[in-house]
Structure formats: C-alpha cells, structure tokens
Structure 1
Amino acid sequence: MMKQRYFLKKDNTKIFTEYETYLRCEDRSENTIRKYMRDLRAFYTFLGRASLTKEAVLAWKRQLSESHALSSANSMLAAVNSFLDWIGAPQCKVKPFRIQREIFCKTEKELTQEEYRRLVAAAEDHKNRRLALLLQTICATGIRVSELCFITAEALELGRATVNCKGKQRVVFLPTELRRLLRRYCRDRRIDSGPIFCTKTGQPLDRSNIWKDMKALCATAQVDPRKVFPHNLRHLFARTYYRLEKDLSRLADLLGHTNITTTRIYTAESGETHFQQMDRMGLVLSQT
C-alpha cells in the first residue's frame, strides 16, 4: 500500500530515512545512494505542498528538460521512479527521455595520449608524485576513481587487485612497470599494507580532492579543463585497448560492465578520426 500518510507532512524525513535504508539493503553504492536521495529531495522541493500524482511527476519531467541535459534528467527520473516503486505507486512513474546514441564522442572532450602524458609530466613538475602515479594507475588499469581503494600494498605483491563495485567482483591486473613505480613509492612512503593512495592519516583519497588536483594541472599541461577528470582516463584506457585488441567483450569484462552497450560508448572516437579513415579508403574516383 502506498505510504500516503507521509505525503501529508511538511517533513518527509522519516520516509526518506526508510528509503535510504532500503537502498543500502539493496547493496547500492554510497555514491548511488547519495545521488538518489539528492534527486528525490529535488523532486519534493519542486512538488511543494501539491499532491503526488503522475501529472506532478510529468510537470517535473518537463522542467528537467528545460534545465538539464537529457541524460542528467533521465538519471534523476530513474531515482524518483525507483522511489515510486518502493512506496507502491508505480502508476505515478514516467518514461525517460529517448536519446539517440551518439556515434562519435565530442572532440573537445576526447583526452589524447599526448595530453595524458602532459598531465602526468605536469604532476611531476608540481612535485606531486602521488598524483602522477594515481593518474597512471587509473589510465593503465581502467579502474574507476572509486576503486582506487582496492589498489593496496598486498595487491601490488600479487600483481592483481580484487575489486568490488556495484555488487560485482572482478580482478584487475597491474602492469609490470606500474608495479615497479608503485613499489618504489610504497617503499619511500613506508606503506607496507592497505591502500596505496591515501591521506597522511591513512584514509582513502576523496574523489573531490582528486578532481581538484587534476584541474590544477591544466594550465601547466596546456590541456583543456573540460577534458580533465578522472573518468576520462578510464575512457582513454578503453579506446587504447580496443584499438589494439578489437575485443569488445573482453574490454567489457576488464571495465566491469554488465552491458556491452555501455562499453561501446567508451570506445567511441571523435568524428575527425572517422573522417580521416574514410579519406584513406580511396573510394572517390577522379573525374576523367
């Protein structure tokens, strides 16, 4: 039965707390839980004192289409639809926006290998050895920034890390040269157990601080700030691997993707690359 009694109150703290507990029982990641709760509160701010109806959700959907990118709007709708299922009000759910998948990635957001090398060099110029190694670890393994905590001193000795993320477990192999660099770093920092990338107090690095540190490299590296964020290193790993192996299924396993359609997004290159390939095909004949 729909928990209507909660919607008559100004304060929905209780229902939100119960829903957050439900998400944890469903083994959702902390980042997912925070996002769902943030989106849910945004919806209730929009709803105000109005009743929860499908018309109200549709009105919010229309507002999102005017204020957000459609992909962002869809993720917010997914959060609210999940909540509506939980409270027993599936009749209030709305469909996501239909978005045609882009064949090419945007050139202004495609990080190249040369730009990646300049970012690593800039980190070293800034005397930030930890950041230089962090960039290389993400790019050389394809892990998510949230998975850095699984790169431990113990994993370094094994040559592989067991990563648990989004309810799935996979093995991430550590390249030989990366292991050599990380061993030296651990030796100098006297890290003999636990996560390699951590604060002075031994806590895993916060993703917001990593993001900020990366952005600080842009000027020195002469790289467009729009290209510089941790997840773009994962995309560079995917494109580089696919160019060499042309094995989309294996790449999906390495990235921890359940749906190979997601992996296709990671391997998309800029339209300029395809333009050059078409020029090399030589199928346009000279006029006689």
Structure 2
Amino acid sequence: MITRFKDYLAKTNLAKNTVASYVWTVNYFLSHYGEVNKKNLLAYKGYLVENFKPQTVNLRLQGINKYLEFTKHDRLKVKFVKVQQKNFLENVISDADYKFLKAQLKADGYEDWYFVVWFMAATGARVSELLHIKVEHVKVGYLDLYSKGGKVRRLYIPKNLRSEASLWLKRKGITSGYLFLNRFGQRITTRGIAQQLKHFADKYGLNRDVVYPHSFRHRFAKNFLDRFNDLALLADLMGHESIETTRIYLRRTASEQQKIVDKVVNW
C-alpha cells in the first residue's frame, strides 16, 4: 500500500522531498497507531501538537490527509492547527551587516562568495534559483524561471551588479555556463552555500542566526520596499502567489522594533 501511495504522490507534481516526508509520516503513523480511524488520527495529532511547531504539525497532517485521499477515507481528514502570525520578521540580516559582510568578502579576496551574497540580496533569488544563473543571463540582465504550474517569473539582475559581475567573469575567463561552481567545476549545492555562509558568520563575528541563504532574499524585499513602496510589484518579483504573503515585509524586524521602542519610549 505504501509503495502505491508513493507512486500516487509522484504523479501529483510534488517535490521529491515532500513525497519522502509524506511517506515517512504515513509509515510512522501506521507503525505506531496501526488502524486508521478517527480516534487514532486524533491521538497522533495530539502527539504532534505537544512535540512540534505548528508548521511541522501541519506538514505531517498534510501527509496523513493525502493518504486518506488516496485510500478514499476523505471523511476522516484531520483539521490543521492554526499558525499564529508573528507581528515582526525574525532572523533577517540587517542592511549594515549585509554591507559589512559583502565588503569583508571582497577585501579578503573571497570574490566568488562576494557575488553569491550580492546576487541573492540584489535579485531576491531563492538559493535553489541562484544555482540556475548563467553567464548568458548576466549579459541579458535577467533569468526566466518556470514554476510547476507553468507560470513564468523573471528574475532581474540590476545594472550595477551586471557591470561588476561581467568584469569578474572576464578576469576568470568564463564566457558561458553556470556562475557558481565548486572546486571540482560542478555547480555548488544549496547545502554547500548554507554551510559556507555560517563559516563566514563565525569568521567575521556576525550572528549565525541571520547569515543563511533565505535571509538575503528577505533583505532584498525589505530594501526594495524601503526605496520603492510598491507591494504588488514586489510580490511579482518575489514570485509570491498571493500579495498577502508579501505583506510580512511591511513589518519591522524584531531588532528594528527594539531600536524604535528604545528611542521613543522615555516615560
């Protein structure tokens, strides 16, 4: 049954990691609770709520619900738990720390990493999207990304980044192909980027919690709205399905809130 469930998921255009997560969840449920009934499903939900964050709980429940769809037990589907929206952005690198990191990487001769950081912060690219950028895209100034639903999102490379990246590529003698390669000449991995960023955080005395790939995508969004207050355009640039997702960037980061409170509250 599990094998057939896995095949069923594979036909629904889900990412491999998502399929693996759902299959693991169902295996865990069946091995620990046995029979699929309302009582056992609610017991499993209770276990999840007590031990995991709401996002993780809902991911597990989504896997269970997919299995219930597959086995034609839709009436047993479990309701998701409510995720409380925070009124601030967490763990976003500050503009000052971003500029400091970039400057240090350049000064110390880590040119490839200087451009990794700059490309993420200046394009809003997800780290997986960053790996698709080629020399040819730098030349034309953009990269078209295609989602599973057939939608196209254009990732723009700003003029100042294009100009400096072109000189960097010329110095390296690279005229085509992917920008970011490892020492073996293969595309660097998302994990490799994340690990190296933590190394640089330690090296330069930055908070490790804010130096990770997606933090620079957040920085792009914050900086964009600070300079050009158009939420609908930012939603398009970020590739958000709903403008509601983009609204989070109208909020202050926790550290920004603290600074404002410290400055304003003197009573």
Residue 38 of structure 1, aligned match among 14, 17, 21: 21
Aligned to 1:53: 37
Match of 2:4 among 8, 15, 20: 15
* Count of residue correspondences: 265
2:84 corresponds in structure 1 to 100
Q: 1:67 matched to which residue of 2?
A: 51
Q: Which region of structure 1 is more displaced relative to structure 2, 164-173 or 174-183?
A: 164-173
Q: TM-score, normalised on structure 2? A: 0.87
Alpha carbons 1:115, 1:223 under 8 Å: kept? yes
Cα drift, residue 272 of structure 1: 5.3
Q: How does 1:199-210 map to 2 (within 5 A)?
A: 199-210=182-193
Q: Judge which range, 144-153 or 39-48, deviates more.
A: 39-48
* Change beyond 3 A, Cα 1:275–1:206: closer
**Structure 1 portions without partners, runs of 5+:** 1-5, 7-11
| Inter-CA distance 243–17: structure 2 relative to 1 (3 Å threshold) | same
Contact kept in structure 1, 2:169 and 2:175, CA below 8 Å: yes
Shift of 1:274: 4.7
C-alpha displacement at 1:115, in angstroms? 1.1
Given that 1:154 and 1:193 are in contact with CA atoms closer than 8 Å, whether structure 2 keeps it comes out as yes
Mapped partners of 1:244, 1:47: distance in 2: 52
Q: What's the counterpart of residue 144 of structure 1?
A: 126
Percentage of pairs with the same residue: 26
| Partners of 1:200 and 1:272 in 2: CA distance | 37
Whole-Å separation in 1 of the counterparts to 2:186 and 2:41: 41
Preserved contact between residue 19 and residue 83 of structure 1 (Cα < 8 Å)? no
* 1:39-98 Cα deviation digits (max 9, x unpaired): 431342243060223333322222222222112222232233234323432223211111
Partner of 2:135: 153
Aligned Cα RMSD in Å? 2.6
Deviations 1:220-278 (A, max 9, x none): 22211111110010001111111122211111000000111111224432255356668
Q: 1:63 to 1:264 in 2, by over 3 A?
A: same
Q: Which position in structure 2 is the counterpart of 1:85?
A: 69
Alignment partners' CA distance in 1, 2:107 and 2:60: 40
User: CA 1:85–1:194 in structure 2 vs 1: closer, same or farther (change >3 Å)?
Assistant: farther
CA distance in 1, matches of 2:107, 2:42: 52
Q: Secondary structure at the match of 2:143?
A: strand
1:125-136 → structure 2 map (5 Å cutoff): 127-136=109-118
Partner residue of 1:163? Answer: 145
**Structure 2 unmatched ranges of 5 or more:** none
Aligned to 2:155: 172
Query: Are the counterparts in 2 of residues 239 and 268 from structure 1 also a CA contact under 8 Å?
Result: no
TM-score (norm 1): 0.81
